[in-house]
């Protein structure tokens, strides 16, 4: 999953915008992805994740901007570019009246897999998605989790360079979610994967990079390490059974900003870039504060959004004054 | 690539009971007409022998079957075409076709040809019933051929119109009703015009089909059906493309 600058650029989208009448669903979104990378598109419902993905897969024409898949322009040469993409839409496009094998064979044929290789590719996709015993079952009679897997199998059947998955873990139970995440990580080794979600830990579990959309605009685009930094930086959450007055705690943490979450729980934000953990722990032991919890204080998705959108509002205010 | 879409459409069509019900229903009606016409022919056979230039077995038995078949197709094609696009939209399966490396033209032609293939089965059953008469009689094969060509052209126009209406909506039932309404307008356009020279006659499907039933293939009739089919196929392609552009 390491990314090197030399690996091939598989997705390059510049300045994608999409209007629905007067409503601007997506504004100036750019995506760059290399082979072996997993990109997470994160955002609340209605942020424009699905619209962006539809534009990247050629299901929707962008109002402006261009998309290149492995260097092929998606708008000029749609069939050539589309053969390199595997797409799982939000609702898996399944024909309920077909059997799993029939359906995957159809998907393979649509993606121009040669007859001689078709059987092997179907078996491979089924094995990767743990569907080996389900070949003879009607898709309509499968559970939601299995239907989702058939949808993923359909997206990877032709070994595409770029795999685009729209909320692949929605509606699955925790075990299935873990399996699907493992599969995505596995796929991300030799393909490029874009997945959308509104679950922050999911992105941190499987992605190399993350792009956060809010109201159709990119508000954050960085590596996972950058996101972790942004979510908490070096902030700590500390729990004490016998907490001292706030000022004493602040003095112990050297140069830090301390807020009380409740009577026993505090959030410590270091100001000077010095990690206060060591001095804090020592102070806790020496002064018998009853330390029972010490963990990185990570912001939740909602807090990240609040921070990001507030930051943006601040910037636009500055720009307007 | 088109053949993949055709196979897929036929497979999903025959996976539902609808196709079988329609085929069985058509066969019952046509077989019943066939038997009554044969029976009728046998009762008037003696009188016909005395009439000079009398209509033959083909005119009395086979041609009315094609006439009935055209009406029955008018009623049943909306049921077959309603699901073509509307149902794919409803089940959100259109994305599979849209993200595959195939063009909109191939999708539309595939769906059209699949419907036409199904209707050709119906036409084939009629021809087989007619040809069974050859066991004991001589038939006017030329007349059967023009009737068959006419019916296939008519079926093509029906399929194209039905496909287009199905592209307009996400509700199969709305598509079926809309298609039926469009057929009736085209079918009955000549009734609205009492004047025999009225241009409305040129629009009527019935008028053009009647010429084929009488055994004549006129270039104008051919052009009418081909243009009608091509127009609605192009409109369907444009409509689906507009989905991608406007959504």
SS (H, E, C) chain B: CHHHHHHHHHHHHHHCHHHHHHHHHHHHHHHHHHHHHHHHHHHHHHHHHHCCCCCCHHHHHHHHHHHHHHHHHHHHHHHHHCHHHHHHHHCCCHHHHHHCCCCHHHHHHHHHHHHHHHHHHHHHHHHHHHHHHHHCCCCCHHHHHHHHHHHHHHHHHHHHHHHHHHHCCCCHHHHHHHHHHHHHHHHCCCCCCCCCCCCHHHHCHHHHHHHHHCCCCCHHHHHHHHHHHHHHHHHHHHHHHHHHHHC
pTM of the model: 0.85
pLDDT bracket for residue A88 (50, 70, 90): very high
Model confidence at B226: pLDDT above 90 = yes
The sheet carrying A38-42 orders its strands as: A85-88, A162-166, A192-197, A38-42, A209-214, A217-223
**The last residue of a domain, from among A200, A230, A260:** A230
A316 within a domain of the structure (yes/no): no
Model confidence at A252: pLDDT above 90 = no
User: What's the rounded mean pLDDT across residues B25-34?
Assistant: 91
Residues A259 and A218 in one domain: no
Is the Cβ pair B4, A106 closer than 8 Å? yes
CA distance B146 to B153: 11
Give A202-208 contacts, CB < 8 A, sequence gap 24+. Answer: A202/A40, A202/A169, A202/A177, A203/A40, A203/A42, A203/A227, A204/A228, A205/A181, A206/A38, A206/A40, A206/A181, A207/A38, A207/A39, A207/A40, A208/A1, A208/A3, A208/A37, A208/A38, A208/A39
**Which of the pair, A187 or B116, is modelled with greater confidence?**
B116
**Residue A209, strand partner residues:** A39, A223
Residues A112 and A243 in one domain: no
Distance (Å) from the C-alpha of residue B131 to the closest C-alpha of chain A?
Answer: 36
Which of A58, A85, A106 has the CB atom closest to B8's CB atom?
A: A106
| pLDDT digits 0-9 by tens, A264-318 | 888 887 766 667 778 888 888 888 888 888 887 766 666 777 777 666 666 655 5
Torsion-angle region of A196 (φ positive above 0: left; ψ -120 to 50: alpha; else: beta):
beta
Residues A198 and A247 in one domain: no
Q: Exposed, middle or buried by CB within 10 Å (0-12, 13-18, 19+), for A53?
A: buried
Residues A268 and A212 in one domain: no
Range of the domain at A18: 9-230
Element (H, E) at A252: helix A246-252
- Residue A42: per-residue pLDDT: 87
| pLDDT digits 0-9 by tens, A101-113 | 999 999 999 999 9
CA distance A252 to A272: 14
Residues A48 and A153 in one domain: yes
Residues A180 and A68 in one domain: yes
Give the total number of structural domains in chain B: 1
CATH code: domain of residue A14: 3.40.50.300
pLDDT bracket for residue A2 (50, 70, 90): very low
Range of the domain at B234: 2-246
Task: Look at chain A and count its residues.
Answer: 321
Would an 8 Å CB–CB cutoff place B71 in contact with chain A?
no
Residues A58 and A177 in one domain: yes
Residues of A with CB under 8 A from a CB of B: 20, 54, 57-61, 78-80, 82-83, 85, 87, 89, 91, 93-98, 102, 106-107, 109-112, 154
Give the total number of structural domains in chain A: 2
**Closest residue by Cα to residue A217 from A301, A303, A306, A308:** A308
Is the Cβ pair A60, B16 closer than 8 Å? no
User: Of A73-87, A202-216, A295-309, which range is least confident?
Assistant: A295-309
Give B6-14 contacts, CB < 8 A, sequence gap 24+. Answer: B6/B110, B6/B113, B6/B114, B6/B117, B8/A106, B8/B110, B8/B114, B9/B84, B9/B110, B9/B111, B9/B114, B9/B115, B10/B114, B10/B117, B10/B118, B11/A98, B11/A102, B12/A95, B12/A97, B12/A98, B13/B80, B13/B114, B13/B118
User: For chain A, what percent of residues have pLDDT higher than 90?
Assistant: 25
The two structure tokens encoding residue B31: 């077989």
A183 within a domain of the structure (yes/no): yes
Roughly what angle, to the nearest 10 degrees, separates helices A174-190 and A144-156?
Answer: 0
A319 within a domain of the structure (yes/no): no
Residues A242 and A132 in one domain: no
Cβ-Cβ pairs closer than 8 A, A with B, add up to 67
Backbone phi and psi for residue A165, each to the nearest 5 degrees, phi listed first? -120, 120
Would an 8 Å CB–CB cutoff place B47 in contact with chain A?
no
Query: B100 contacts in A (CB within 8 Å)?
Result: 82, 107, 110-111
Specify the pairing of strand A9-20 against strand A23-34.
antiparallel
Distance (Å) from the C-alpha of residue B228 to the closest C-alpha of chain A?
Answer: 29
Cα four-point dihedral sign B208, B209, B213, B216: positive
User: What's the rounded mean pLDDT across residues A95-122?
Assistant: 92
- Residue A24: per-residue pLDDT: 85
**Closest residue by Cα to residue B140 from B28, B14, B36, B54:** B54
CA distance B16 to A96: 11
- Residue B246: per-residue pLDDT: 65
| pLDDT digits 0-9 by tens, A160-179 | 999 999 998 887 888 888 88
Chain centroid offset of residue B144 CA: 16
Model confidence at A1: pLDDT above 50 = no
Is the Cβ pair A60, B4 closer than 8 Å? no
Model confidence at A233: pLDDT above 80 = no
Residues A15 and A162 in one domain: yes
Residues A71 and A181 in one domain: yes
**Closest residue by Cα to residue A157 from A114, A208, A189, A196:** A114
Model confidence at B194: pLDDT above 70 = no
Residues A126 and A246 in one domain: no
CA distances (Å), origin A77, targets A163, B70, B171? 19, 42, 32
CA distance A240 to A233: 22
Is the Cβ pair B102, A87 closer than 8 Å? no
């Amino acid at each position: 999953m390491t990314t090197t600058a030399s690996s091939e650029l598989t997705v390059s989208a510049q300045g994608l915008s999409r209007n629905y009448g007067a409503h601007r669903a997506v504004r100036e979104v750019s995506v760059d992805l290399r082979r072996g990378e997993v990109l997470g598109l994160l955002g609340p419902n209605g942020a424009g994740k699905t619209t962006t993905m539809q534009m990247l897969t050629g299901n929707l024409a962008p109002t402006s901007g261009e998309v290149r898949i492995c260097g092929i322009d998606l708008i000029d040469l749609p069939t050539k570019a589309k053969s390199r993409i595997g797409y799982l839409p939000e609702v898996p496009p399944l024909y309920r009246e077909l059997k799993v094998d029939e359906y995957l064979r159809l998907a393979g044929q649509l993606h121009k897999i040669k007859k001689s290789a078709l059987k092997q590719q179907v078996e491979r996709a089924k094995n990767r998605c743990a569907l080996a015993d389900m070949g003879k079952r009607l898709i309509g009679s499968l559970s939601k989790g299995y239907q989702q897997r058939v949808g993923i199998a359909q997206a990877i059947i032709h070994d595409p360079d770029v795999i685009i998955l729209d909320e692949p873990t929605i509606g699955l139970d925790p075990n299935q979610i873990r399996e699907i995440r493992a599969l995505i990580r596995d796929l991300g080794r030799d393909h490029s994967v874009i997945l959308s979600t509104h679950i922050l830990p999911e992105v941190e579990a499987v992605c190399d990079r993350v792009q956060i959309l809010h109201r159709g605009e990119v508000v954050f685009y960085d590596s996972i390490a950058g996101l972790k930094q942004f979510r908490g930086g070096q902030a700590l959450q500390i729990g004490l059974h016998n907490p001292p007055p706030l000022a004493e705690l602040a003095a112990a943490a050297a140069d830090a900003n301390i807020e009380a979450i409740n009577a026993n729980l505090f959030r410590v934000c270091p100001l000077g870039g010095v990690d206060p953990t060591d001095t804090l722990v020592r102070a806790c032991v020496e002064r018998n504060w009853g330390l029972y919890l010490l963990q990185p204080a990570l912001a939740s998705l909602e807090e990240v959004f609040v921070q990001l959108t507030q930051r943006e509002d601040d910037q636009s205010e500055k720009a307007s004054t | 690539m088109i053949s993949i879409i055709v196979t897929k459409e036929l497979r999903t069509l025959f996976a539902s009971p609808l196709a079988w019900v329609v085929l069985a229903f058509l066969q019952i009606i046509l077989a019943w007409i066939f038997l009554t016409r044969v029976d009728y022919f046998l009762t008037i056979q003696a009188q016909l022998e005395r009439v000079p230039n009398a209509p033959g077995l083909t005119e009395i038995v086979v041609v009315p079957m094609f006439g009935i078949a055209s009406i029955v197709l008018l009623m049943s094609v909306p049921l077959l075409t309603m699901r073509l696009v509307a149902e794919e939209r409803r089940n959100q399966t259109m994305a599979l076709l849209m993200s595959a490396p195939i063009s909109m033209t191939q999708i539309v032609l595939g769906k059209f040809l699949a419907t036409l293939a199904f209707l050709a089965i119906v036409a084939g059953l009629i021809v087989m019933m007619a040809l069974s008469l050859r066991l004991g009689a001589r038939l006017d094969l030329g007349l059967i051929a023009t009737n068959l060509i006419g019916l296939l052209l008519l079926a093509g126009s029906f399929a194209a119109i039905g496909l287009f209406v199905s592209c307009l909506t996400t509700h199969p039932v709305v598509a079926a009703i809309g298609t039926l309404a469009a057929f009736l307008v085209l079918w009955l356009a000549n009734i609205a015009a009492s004047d025999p020279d009225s241009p409305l006659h040129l629009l009527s499907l019935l008028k053009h089909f009647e010429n084929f039933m009488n055994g004549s293939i006129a270039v104008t009739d051919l052009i009418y059906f081909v243009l009608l089919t091509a127009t609605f196929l192009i409109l369907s392609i444009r409509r689906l493309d507009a989905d991608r552009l406007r959504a």
